[in-house]
């Protein structure tokens, strides 16, 4: 059995919501041996999907913070005659407690990022994901014939990068399950978040998370999909140097970058995981390396798939004006953190 872990990005992903079902459905639809002959000998039922959910940890914290803030809010009614300066100071402290639960796009999404990167809620998330992976693989997992892979999206790419880094260097370690077959990152934010974090957040190009034919690394193949217009991906693209990992990943062609063009738009949410996986170059690479990797989609098959994909781009409910607005985001400055937040806020407004 080949277990594929699906790791979500930023947003409202509830543990019991089966959030990954649309993505699973999309992959199942695309896994069509009539379109790609090379997959005909790997039946789809040899794969099983396991969704990894961590958003509930952020939700729980924010709910608790709100509860505390509401409780504190009562103070002003109890102590009405305090002097004005003191009143303002305490009011500011109380309001601060409730801030993370804001509904503003950048704040609500970035509260997750901030909680993950800057606080120990991240430690809870990382340990819980390690737990979820090991529980899902279970006692019957046999590394001689069972495989596992990871498909991560957006914030999930940073999260899973850290889980793999910690998990493969820990004792006991994830290495006891064997290396992952494929690690696939869509809209990889791991490099961006490393540089946004003001303190040391390691080096994602030179940690344990890289593909290798040898004994090091965490996977056999690493696929990285980026869209030119995805504002979460283009700000600081995951674009490893020649010496990525132990220096052999590039030479051995185990790192597979897939860069999607500005014209490749089938839906407004260019950042969505389904939008990435729908692209033939993305899912064809995934299907190739989930298997032996020896066979790939033929030029004709890929060309046919791209023709069909282009038809979808033409049918997409996207006006030229909207398309231009999205493209214009790339011309905005995004050198400072505040610029990046503004960029994401504008992107959020485009989706409304």
Write down the least CB distance from residue 208 to other proteins, Å.
7
| Distance from the Cα of residue 81 to its chain's centroid | 50
Q: How far apart are CA 307 and CA 313, in angstroms?
A: 10
User: Among 243, 237, 175, which residue's Cα sits nearest to residue 207?
Assistant: 243
Q: How far apart are CA 307 and CA 265, in angstroms?
A: 13
Nearest CB to other proteins, comparing residues 28 and 60: 60
Write down the least CB distance from residue 133 to other proteins, Å.
8
- Going 22 to 26 to 31 to 32, the CA torsion angle's sign is positive
Q: How far apart are CA 218 and CA 165, in angstroms?
A: 8
Write down the least CB distance from residue 262 to other proteins, Å.
34
Nearest CB to other proteins, comparing residues 28 and 213: 213
Q: How far apart are CA 120 and CA 61, in angstroms?
A: 11
- Which residues have CB under 8 Å from 306's CB, separation 6+? 280
Nearest CB to other proteins, comparing residues 16 and 215: 215
Write down the least CB distance from residue 1 to other proteins, Å.
6
Write down the least CB distance from residue 230 to other proteins, Å.
26
Q: Is 256 helix (H, G, I), strand (E, B) or coil?
A: strand
Nearest CB to other proteins, comparing residues 105 and 141: 141
Write down the least CB distance from residue 334 to other proteins, Å.
23
Nearest CB to other proteins, comparing residues 15 and 118: 118
Residue 139 tokens, joined: 């006692």
Nearest CB to other proteins, comparing residues 86 and 351: 86
Write down the least CB distance from residue 95 to other proteins, Å.
11
Give yes or no for a contact between 260 and 219, defined as CB atoms under 8 angstroms apart: no
Residue 237 tokens, joined: 């693209």
| Peptide bond before residue 172 is cis, with ω within 30 degrees of 0 | yes
Nearest CB to other proteins, comparing residues 5 and 177: 177
Q: How far apart are CA 45 and CA 38, in angstroms?
A: 16
Give yes or no for a contact between 254 and 303, defined as CB atoms under 8 angstroms apart: no
């Amino acid at each position: 059995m080949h277990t594929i872990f699906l790791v979500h990005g930023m947003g409202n992903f509830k543990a019991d919501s089966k959030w990954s079902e649309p993505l699973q459905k999309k992959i199942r639809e695309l896994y069509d041996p009539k379109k790609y002959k090379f997959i005909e000998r790997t039946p789809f039922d040899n794969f099983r999907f396991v969704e990894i959910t961590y958003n509930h940890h952020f939700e729980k914290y924010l709910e608790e913070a709100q509860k505390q803030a509401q409780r504190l809010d009562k103070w002003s009614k109890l102590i009405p005659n305090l002097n004005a300066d003191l009143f303002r100071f305490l009011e500011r402290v109380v309001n601060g407690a409730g801030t993370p639960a804001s509904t503003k796009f950048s704040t609500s999404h970035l509260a997750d990022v901030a909680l993950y990167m800057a606080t120990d809620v991240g430690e809870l998330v990382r340990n819980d994901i390690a737990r979820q992976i090991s529980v899902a693989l279970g006692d019957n997992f046999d590394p001689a014939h069972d495989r596992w892979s990871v498909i991560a999206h957006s914030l999930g790419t940073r999260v899973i990068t850290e889980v793999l880094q910690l998990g493969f260097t820990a004792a006991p370690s994830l290495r006891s399950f064997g290396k992952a077959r494929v690690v696939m990152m869509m809209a990889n934010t791991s490099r961006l978040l490393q540089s946004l974090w003001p303190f040391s957040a390691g080096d994602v190009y030179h940690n344990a998370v890289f593909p290798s034919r040898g004994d090091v690394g965490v996977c056999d193949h690493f696929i990285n999909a980026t869209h030119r217009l995805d504002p979460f991906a283009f700000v600081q693209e995951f674009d490893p140097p020649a010496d990525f990992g132990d220096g052999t990943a590039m030479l051995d062609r185990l790192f597979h970058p897939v860069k999607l063009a500005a014209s490749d738009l089938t839906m407004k949410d260019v950042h969505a995981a389904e939008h990435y996986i729908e692209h033939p170059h993305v899912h064809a690479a995934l299907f190739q390396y989930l298997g032996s990797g020896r066979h790939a989609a033929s030029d004709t098959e890929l060309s046919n798939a791209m023709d069909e994909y282009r038809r979808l781009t033409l049918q997409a409910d996207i006006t030229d004006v909207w398309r231009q607005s999205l493209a214009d985001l790339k011309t905005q400055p995004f050198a400072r953190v505040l610029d990046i937040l503004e960029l994401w806020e504008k992107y959020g407004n485009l989706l409304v």
